[in-house]
Amino acid sequence: MSFILNIGAKTRILPLSKTAIMSENIAIKALIFDLNGTMIDDMAFHTIAWHDILNNDLKANLTEEEVKKQMYGKNEEVLARIFGQGHFNEAEANRISIEKEKRYQRAFLPHLKLIEGLEPFLAFAHSKNIPMAIGSAAIPFNINFVLDNLHIRHYFSAIVSADDVKMSKPDPETFTKAAALLHTSPANCIVFEDAPKGVEAAENAGMKSIVLTTMHTEDEFTGYNNILRFIKNYKDPLLKDINEMPYFSFGKGNISEGL
């Protein structure tokens, strides 16, 4: 079985499988990327930083697995889920948030790099004038850390951070705001994500997703109906040939042969 992916002026027939489950035509005009775990493989470092500050500083006495389950949304939302709403005032929550990110950045900086294959993927899409955005629950302090150290800010027409939304993922606000800034309908955006809550946010926004399995396994995404594909990195067989762009074929012409 197969389904047709219509990207701009091109069409491609893709095999239908448990990791490519859509069955409709999709005209893709813009790309939106989550940051942590999607563009950089850093979630283990966030886990370490949260585990350190929650247990050693704040005496939460959480296991690593318990910390992982709480690691979504804004930092102040993580604190509220663990300690209760109002336990920390705004200034205290901001101080804890920045301290956690400083610990994360110090540990991760020597390892900072894009997930394999992403830079040529971004460069190709940029060369074809495909608008791209970052839609992340990270604070600007962390987004700037990545974009400026890796010199990739110029690829993105819009950035939506934790500071730009009232509601975090799985609320769709992050992605709908990114689509609006790209002047693109949500239905014409593809979201790259690594977390179930992010995929849920994309689904709530009316967007399809491609999932990076950097931290979560495929079975953790059961129940979501907007997933096009699971990939380990951007050298996946559907993405690896950057000259042909076998999954994202943005140029003119018609490609209808099977993969």
pLDDT digits (tens, 9 = 90+) for 108-167: 999 999 999 999 999 989 998 999 999 999 999 999 999 999 999 999 999 999 999 999
Q: Does the pTM of the predicted model rise above 0.75?
A: yes
pLDDT surpasses 50 at 258: no
Summarize pLDDT for 27-43 with one digit per residue, the tens.
Answer: 789 999 999 999 999 99
Q: Choose between 15 and 255: higher pLDDT.
A: 15
Q: How far is it, in rounded angstroms, from Cα 49 to Cα 37? A: 15
pLDDT surpasses 80 at 217: yes
Integer angstrom CA distances of residue 84 from 60, 81, 153, 165: 12, 6, 36, 21
Identify whether the C-beta of residue 80 lies closer than 8 Å to the C-beta of residue 72: no
Q: How far is it, in rounded angstroms, from Cα 216 to Cα 231? A: 11
Q: How far is it, in rounded angstroms, from Cα 218 to Cα 229? A: 10
Beta-carbon contacts of residue 91 (< 8 Å; ≥ 6 apart): none
Q: What is the pLDDT of residue 28?
A: 81
Q: What is the pLDDT of residue 254?
A: 28
> Which of 234, 153, 163, 224 lies closest to 192 in space, CA to CA?
234
DSSP 144: H
pLDDT surpasses 80 at 212: yes
Homologous superfamily, domain 2-41+113-231? HAD superfamily/HAD-like (3.40.50.1000)
Beta-carbon contacts of residue 45 (< 8 Å; ≥ 6 apart): 104, 107, 108, 111
Q: What is the pLDDT of residue 27?
A: 76
Q: Report domain extents, the chain.
A: 2-41+113-231, 43-110
